[in-house]
Structure 1
């Protein structure tokens, strides 16, 4: 069939550089060459929707890329009537779906692989502000998903389905400018905590079936970004499992009894597997256990008494830095409280200023050598990036902790604000650092959803550079870039003050 010149001209006017190819692809859809258009009703809907579809794709500013990604998404649909009806009835969902596919390959891939997520977009909760979420809601949703699951594998799949929908919801709001970094960090972190809380009993049940129970308490502790309520879409989980048993010599009461240490080691392995293993429904998180005492050389599950001894006599400065970000997130409430109290106590040990400064600067240089910067927009690792800001806060917290003032906070912004409140930082400088951190965090959250550290403005979609400007409330990308550079320069300046102390 020959191309209609008027149709080709119309498609070209929208910004598509290969209008004939676009026309041929759409004709193939109309001829039922993809599963989504194999019914007459689907083809009718597609005919009615095509002008709006092309307009929505063109509006992303990346017409060609957007069409290719929509083509992949559409080809993967097992059927089309429901989705096409949704797009026809809800033009905003069509527009935002096209923008998501064009501007955020990571988020778009989820949508392409699991188009059923579109149904969730019709729920009032999907577009409700993240700041309005009740902390318990995500855990309730995950627990509800487990009620119909039987066995370990089904439980993992059920949690993954519910988790995927919520991850998409949070990322969607970040991409479309409906959620700022602090709101997204809290939401992602709350979801991770809920996931751990939902799967810990599943892992415990598996252990009980195999080996019986053992009297004691278990707590899951988070470090780093999860500890500080700062998770992003691509964050892994830094975890530590702590346990306390009534009697160290007591074995479990099942048919195959094992010691308390073995029981909690295997429980930890089960929980890590539940969180990280790839199933038919995908995976949840990468899990890192290396921040526990002695790292890989130590036991994967840490007994409470051993934890206290370690920090009393063996821990290095970088481990105390990490400890400022420790937060128990699941398990026995009394044990969680004890761990939090223990962390506060050991952090209050007085530390020589010059020694502390030199060791923190040395650790930062080791990190630079071990983990090179990945591109010009590696918000975490760049000089003046988020790691420098975290190290700055940790240095001042460890320096001031012996005062007994409540300045230990796992969240970096809250730590800087507390340090200023109690007179350990100049309030005006602290305020500027908080603003600089907010700039970096907003960029970090958006790029984690859309492009990661591979973001390169000269190659990025115009819509994505506009999204970067929007997330910083800037009028254009050049202004946003200047804000980003200024934030990094300020953070780098303050971090360098620590290096100056180290060389005095």
Structure 2
């Protein structure tokens, strides 16, 4: 019996019908009848499995049975049947597309030769999408401004055929999972841009005067962000300029050029939107342009700028986040983007910007609820839909992207990843949003592909839901499983959206309270050990202390800790981080704002974990002033405050206390509290990379100067109170060394000299005794035991050192420098900055020392030799016993001292003639030497880089250990690792290698420039 006859037997038919039902055909009897004809071609067995694996086997079968005779008529039927029989990939792609998209099935019936783009090993359509679509409309892709030969129905149809051929190839990869949803959306946007370019070529054929203008098409929305749907309006803005007559155009007025550009833009829109025998592509929507539909279709750059600078609303700047040139004049498109970008980010700093965005979102939601009964089925605008993700991401981008340019990606998924990396969105929340966004976009694509219609609604028909579920790989219960997944994603999106959008920096915690309690103690210790905790038992004790009980505080801690334990583990010393957190929490746990701040602001909690886990210095400061946690929320709060602001606050505190009967010790304690707070601000900014080496030095100098100024005022007040009369002399404090150079480190002493000048008619001896008493009292007040890093006042750089008087009159300084000054003292004065005390006396002291440190004609050769000998002796004598010279950041070869002495020698030799060298700052002196041609720019760069690295290393050592050191850590693994991490190096070896390289190069410059070696 032949196969056909056999298949007609009742047994065979019954068997086939059952098999079809099991494979997912909903009308097995009908499918059986249709398949009997195909069976003659021996395709039945191979086709059944492929068809049964599709989203809608019945739809796929219908499409295939319509395609085969069409292919026969086209002469491709035999080739198609052979491919279906022998090529599994071809079979899968073709049947999968047919099982999802009736519209693409229709296209294949009209153009059966296009099945080849789905074939195994098929090359993608020739050329780029732009070149392919331009060629399809008869335009030359290589032309600067391609022009189609005509704009008739055939040309428009050819564009749509070529477009859908590309769409078919993409859908084939998409639906079998060979392309990620983000890649699909990007390719769709690129294909849309190519269609706009082809539409523009057609438009040029309609507008003979097109050469009088330059026209750029700016993609907006999903097209601009390269995250387009299969079927979507393509949002655009048009910008035009008259063509310069000298560039090959006809030139002409701006008005005429805009008329031509407007005609061109309108013709391009029609070329893409018009309905033809091959259907339409999509609507080109220019409603996002300035003034919307009421405004001109095309504007110049200047007109766009004027509108956005004066009239634009908040939502328009939000829309411009995704702006991207997609067609037309590429240079003009770039000019538009360059013009608009800074305006967008300035606008994001507006006073009510966040509130405006939030209010707009509420209006959209309320309007949706009023206009449609299908709001709950909306994939795009409904609660927990795509727009919830997009609006939350865009608001966070606009708020934080002003200062952080890494957050300016156009595409939602890219921007979300950037926000997560930057700590603006919790990692788990970002992952949940990304997963939901991908899911919702896949569903949106599937419902649009069915008929190639613009829709964002989840179907309510059972068969449509089944097709979507099966296309997503759900087989047991496609409708139920899909609905459950969709609802779960929507709930998660809405929850996170509420946190991030309406409270933009709310912390996204990953775990529910109590989850860790289900771990056994042994499992918990193993987990903590795996995270990097050296003392897991101790860590468990801290966790227990923080989370035990039924109080609100304990509940919040139970929510916070699972996340924060991971953040502590990311820091160099997790144990220290957790201990510090417990100590700060014990101090602030009952304060209402503290835990709420950590729970609601991801930045604060993450930064706190990092600071506590890597810096003993910052932790000690925080434990003494735990309310400083509030500084961690924004970069602005961690920006060092200007010296004058610190000085004013410190002196105000002294005045308030001086007006009462408060002892000087308590007055200075208040000032030291201010210093402690500001030191924490700078330390955290440094640890987070928010301030550079120069800024740290300036900030620490300003803090020290404000503190000494306030202590000087308190000391004067006390001496006057004890003596019963005003101090009969003016007093100033001269900052020296690193203090005067505005290069203080965290562990630096404050090198100073004291100068006074008796009031007219005052007894000089009495004035001297009073000035000495004030200086001693100042030193005593700042040396009192206190819970903050000490500020040691070191006056040993004064004339005659320890043997000389602590305080001198201005006249005494003048006499000494005129008669006894040595070259090294002139060198020391290079860093003298009269920062503190009586302003007039400070100016007079500066006038006195300037000729000494910047001598006319420079220092002579003998003085240069003395300075070189002194430097050489210092190198050999002042290094600590047993220290490795190569690891000493201050006195070792290529260290701080080497660089500073080069700068200072150049100042001594040339500052009288070169005003730029009259500075106390090392790096400024090097820059001035380069500008004056005294130092090669490359040599200066080598010295500056070595100096900055050595300074950063010294600062990081102090931050990590809480104790100062000039030596790179080499004996304590955790400290060495922590310093390395704080400095941003992958490992200790990398740090040592980099420092050695910088030091070696710097020393070579020192030998040549300072010592005069060849």
- For this structure pair, what is the TM-score category when the shorter chain's length is used for normalisation? 0.7 to 0.9
Q: Which residue of 2 aligns with 1:36?
A: none
Q: Which residue of 2 aligns with 1:45?
A: 556
**Alignment pair present for 1:443 and 2:958:** no
Question: Residue deviations 1:364-395, cap 9 Å, x none?
Answer: 52365234276665422222110111112122
Contact kept in structure 2, 1:224 and 1:326, CA below 8 Å? yes
Q: CA deviation at 1:21?
A: 5.0
Structure 2 CA distance, aligned partners of 1:91 and 1:426? 47
Match of 1:366 among 874, 880, 899: 874
Q: 1:24 to 1:423 in 2, by over 3 A?
A: closer
Query: Any unmatched runs of 5+ in structure 1?
Result: 33-38, 252-257
Q: CA deviation at 1:465?
A: 1.6
Q: CA deviation at 1:84?
A: 3.4
**Alignment pair present for 1:206 and 2:706:** no
Other structure's SS at 2:681 match:
helix
| Greater mean deviation of Cα atoms: 407-416 or 68-77 | 68-77
Q: Which residue of 2 aligns with 1:328?
A: 834
Q: Which residue of 1 aligns with 2:606?
A: 95
Q: 1:492 to 1:354 in 2, by over 3 A?
A: farther
Contact kept in structure 1, 2:716 and 2:727, CA below 8 Å? no
Q: Which residue of 2 aligns with 1:255?
A: none
Contact kept in structure 1, 2:601 and 2:633, CA below 8 Å? no
Q: Which residue of 1 aligns with 2:23?
A: none
Q: Which residue of 2 aligns with 1:254?
A: none
Q: 1:147 to 1:94 in 2, by over 3 A?
A: farther
Q: CA deviation at 1:124?
A: 7.5
Question: Residue deviations 1:178-222, cap 9 Å, x none?
Answer: 111001111111111222222222211112212222444221100
Q: Which residue of 1 aligns with 2:1006?
A: 495
**Alignment pair present for 1:308 and 2:814:** yes
Q: 1:158 to 1:122 in 2, by over 3 A?
A: farther
Contact kept in structure 2, 1:248 and 1:260, CA below 8 Å? no
Structure 2 CA distance, aligned partners of 1:397 and 1:44? 63
Other structure's SS at 1:278 match:
coil
Other structure's SS at 1:329 match:
strand
Q: Which residue of 2 aligns with 1:460?
A: 975
Other structure's SS at 1:259 match:
helix
Structure 1 CA distance, aligned partners of 2:768 and 2:614? 48
Match runs of 1:65-104 below 5 Å: 65-71=576-582, 79=590, 83-104=594-615
| Greater mean deviation of Cα atoms: 94-103 or 489-498 | 489-498
Match runs of 1:147-166 below 5 Å: 147-149=655-657, 150-166=662-678
Q: Which residue of 1 aligns with 2:532?
A: 15
Question: Residue deviations 1:468-489, cap 9 Å, x none?
Answer: 136xxxx776555443222212
Q: Which residue of 1 aligns with 2:289?
A: none
Q: CA deviation at 1:147?
A: 5.0
Other structure's SS at 2:698 match:
helix
Higher relative contact order (CA 8 A, sep 6+): 1
Match runs of 1:138-153 below 5 Å: 138-149=646-657, 150-153=662-665
Match runs of 1:120-131 below 5 Å: 120-121=631-632, 125-127=636-638, 129-130=639-640
Contact kept in structure 1, 2:705 and 2:836, CA below 8 Å? yes
Match of 2:770 among 263, 275, 279: 263
Q: Which residue of 1 aligns with 2:782?
A: 275
Match runs of 1:344-423 below 5 Å: 344-347=850-853, 348=855, 350-366=858-874, 368-372=876-880, 377-401=887-911, 403=913, 405-423=915-933
Question: Residue deviations 1:115-170, cap 9 Å, x none?
Answer: 2332444587523x33xx44321122223433543231221111011110000000
Other structure's SS at 1:469 match:
coil
Other structure's SS at 2:571 match:
coil
Structure 1 CA distance, aligned partners of 2:913 and 2:699? 33
**Alignment pair present for 1:427 and 2:940:** no
Contact kept in structure 2, 1:275 and 1:285, CA below 8 Å? yes
Structure 1 CA distance, aligned partners of 2:720 and 2:1011? 55
Contact kept in structure 2, 1:222 and 1:328, CA below 8 Å? yes
Contact kept in structure 2, 1:61 and 1:461, CA below 8 Å? no
Other structure's SS at 2:626 match:
coil
Q: CA deviation at 1:57?
A: 1.2
Which has more radius of gyration?
Answer: 2
Q: 1:68 to 1:282 in 2, by over 3 A?
A: closer
Structure 2 CA distance, aligned partners of 1:260 and 1:148? 27
Structure 2 CA distance, aligned partners of 1:245 and 1:12? 67
Q: CA deviation at 1:26?
A: 2.4
Q: Which residue of 2 aligns with 1:35?
A: none
Other structure's SS at 1:47 match:
helix
**Alignment pair present for 1:318 and 2:318:** no
Q: CA deviation at 1:308?
A: 1.1
Q: Which residue of 2 aligns with 1:111?
A: 622
Q: CA deviation at 1:418?
A: 1.9
**Alignment pair present for 1:184 and 2:667:** no
